[in-house]
């Protein structure tokens, strides 16, 4: 086997292995928000990003929002991040998910490359209706 063919095989194997290691590390580092009841850790880890099917926690830390940090706008939702209101993409809303936290929960991270600095929102869970 030539050095070129050997290297191609290494590169083909390295990419999937690297992606798998990244996903495992991201999931291992996932944690519920700091203000969450530690008993709810399994609930946070059970939430799945509806777009990619991975844990919401694997993407970003969750944030339990106060009533003043989220709002319904018709059939859409908005969250306040760093003092600005941002629309929650409808495809990230987890419908029919019981929410034991007492508040809305959003999984987001700052979007470092967006011109408008919009956060990247991965998942949103409405508070329990009561």
pLDDT (average), residues 100-128: 85
Task: Tell me how far apart the alpha carbons of residues 76 and 72 are, in angstroms, rounded to a whole number.
Answer: 6
Q: Identify the pLDDT of residue 19.
A: 42
* pLDDT at res. 57: 74
Whole-number average pLDDT of the chain = 76
Give the single-character DSSP code of 128. P
Domain ranges of the chain: 1-30, 31-125
pTM of the complete model: 0.69
pLDDT computed for residue 86 by the predictor: 94
Band of pLDDT at residue 87, cut at 50, 70 and 90: very high
Residue 9 has pLDDT above 60, yes or no: no
Whole-angstrom distance, CA of residue 25 vs CA of residue 47:
18
Segment 16-62, tens digit of pLDDT: 544 433 343 343 345 556 666 778 888 888 898 888 888 887 655 78
Among 105, 108, 99, CA closest to 35: 105
pLDDT of 88 reads 96
């Amino acid at each position: 086997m030539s050095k070129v063919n050997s290297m191609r095989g290494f590169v083909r194997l390295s990419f999937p292995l690297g992606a798998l290691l990244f996903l495992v590390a991201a999931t291992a580092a996932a944690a519920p928000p700091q203000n969450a009841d530690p008993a709810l850790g399994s609930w946070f880890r059970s939430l799945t990003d509806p777009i990619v099917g991975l844990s919401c926690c694997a993407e970003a830390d969750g944030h339990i929002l106060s009533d003043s940090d989220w709002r319904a706008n018709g059939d859409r939702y908005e969250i306040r991040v760093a003092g600005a209101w941002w629309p929650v993409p409808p495809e990230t809303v987890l419908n029919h998910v019981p929410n034991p936290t007492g508040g809305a929960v959003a999984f987001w991270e700052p979007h470092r490359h967006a011109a408008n600095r919009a956060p990247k929102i991965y998942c949103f869970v409405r508070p329990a209706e009561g």
